[in-house]
Amino acid sequence: MSGFDSNPFADPEAANPFSDPSVQQAAGSGQGGGQKAGGLDDYNPFAEGNQTRPASGSNASTTPLVPPPQPAQTQPAIMTPSEEPPPPYTQSAAQKIDTSELQRRQEELEKKAAELQRKEQEMKNMQFKDRQNNWPPLPSWFPLGPCFYQDFSVDIPLDFQRIVKFVYYLWMFHVFVLFLNVLASLAYFIVDSNGGTTFGLAILWFVVFSPCSFICWYRPLYKAFRSDSSFNFFVFFFVFFFQFCVYVIQCLGITNFTVGIITGLSTVRNSIAAGLIMIFIGIFFGLLAIISFATLVKVHRIYRSTGASFQKAQQEFATGVMRNEAVQNAAANAASGAARGAAQQYGSGNRY
């Protein structure tokens, strides 16, 4: 069987692992009489000081083994200070911050602060100086002068200037619609002789209600936001609600004292143009009613958010009445009269 397993073309001695002389010598020393048989068995290659191979018999090699190379001893890395100065610091592209936006915002804040300081100074100065009336803006040659002082940027806080200006423009639109109401009433009077009363009342409303609406519901609102007055808020709510009811009546035109949608529909039979004008004015009054109701609700929300109350309004009313010079003089005269009467009664009682 060995003939089939071996390579016929290979060297028979090259494939034999026992053909090595060192192996044969070691095997011979182990079989030769047992001399120094324990040399190979007692050999410890890890023992200290063992620098040579174990000797076996007389033919043992005395060539010392080469010791393994020892790692070179290196000193720890110590950073030595460099004598050269560090390079100058330069900002990288990532470290550069664009400060133009910050500077612009800073300038805006400074301008606003200067404006607020200027307004505060003006208000302080106006407390000691009499402010000249500037409304209505009448020319100098006009026989009548301005009656009120009005400046939103000075009197009204910044948070409430928008609502006060809106009510002011609403009053101007109210006056414009009253003027159109005069024209519509004139058209109604031309078409129907029964419209004379309506035309006369339209003129009266335009002449009387234009300044009265300014004094009765716009100026109370202006003073309410100017001085946070609960009393003026209540005056505005009462009068403006009444104005809202009048707008509804004028919009519908349910009576012969005003033009409106119902009166305009009945006039269309006689004159289409006059009827359409009256209906158009009625729509304007309806628009005023809607805007007035929304304004009333918004002002009431602002009023409730300020912490005002009816008790505060009563206190302001009482304080305002007592500060009135006429009321003070009347109270002083009444007190002095009561004191004189009591003194006279006391003197007459002592005589008896």
The least confident of 133-147, 184-198, 234-248 is: 133-147
CB of 184 within 8 A of CB of 209? no
CB of 175 within 8 A of CB of 289? no
Residue 82: both structure tokens together: 């460099």
**How distant, in Å, are the alpha carbons of 66, 69, 96, 119, 152 from that of 73?**
20, 12, 49, 84, 90
pLDDT at residue 65 in the model: 52
pTM across the whole model: 0.57
Give pairs for 87-90: CB < 8 Å, separation 24+.
none
Residue 287: both structure tokens together: 């628009």
Answer with the residue of higher pLDDT: 23 or 287. 287
Establish how many alpha carbons lie within 13 A of residue 108's alpha carbon, considering only the half-sphere containing its beta carbon. Answer: 6
30-58 pLDDT, tens digit each: 454 444 444 555 556 665 555 555 544 44
Report the greatest alpha carbon distance in the chain. 177
Residue 219: both structure tokens together: 């100026």
pLDDT at residue 83 in the model: 60
**How distant, in Å, are the alpha carbons of 51, 63, 71, 223 from that of 68?**
10, 15, 9, 106
